[in-house]
Structure 1
Amino acid sequence: MNLVDGRTSITGARRLSWPWQVRLSDAQLHSGPSEPTRIDGVVLIPRRRIDFMQVVG
């Protein structure tokens, strides 16, 4: 998913989500030209911060 700041994207396995937030596990943060950074635990992202989300099954 791409966040509204236009520079940050996050990939991961989607978990139980609610209308106001998305939960990801095994997530990686992609920001700028550097290598992705692995995020430990579960990430909670408010829906208002998401610009684009693609779900692949």
Structure 2
Amino acid sequence: MNLVDGRTTITGERRLSWPWQVRLTGAELHRGPTDSSPVDGTVVIPRHRIDFMQVVG
């Protein structure tokens, strides 16, 4: 998913989601084409911070 700041992308496995937030596990944070880092634990992202989300099943 791309966040509204236009520079940050987060990939991972979607877990529990509610209308106001999305939770990801096994996430990786991307801040450019070559800059990425793994994220430990569960990432909780408020829906109002998400610009675009693609779910692949």
TM-score by length of 1: 0.95
Counterpart AA for 1:18: W
Aligned residues: 57
Consecutive aligned runs of 4 or more in structure 1 exceeding 3 Å deviation: none
Q: Any stretches of 5+ residues in structure 1 without a counterpart?
A: none
* Counterpart residue number, 1:18: 18
Alpha-carbon distance in structure 1 between the residues aligned to 2:44 and 2:2: 14
TM-score by length of 2: 0.95
Cα root mean square deviation, aligned: 0.8
* % same residue: 74
Give the drift of 1:36: 1.2
* Counterpart residue number, 1:3: 3
Q: Any stretches of 5+ residues in structure 2 without a counterpart?
A: none
Alpha-carbon distance in structure 2 between the residues aligned to 1:33 and 1:17: 27
SS at match of 1:6: coil
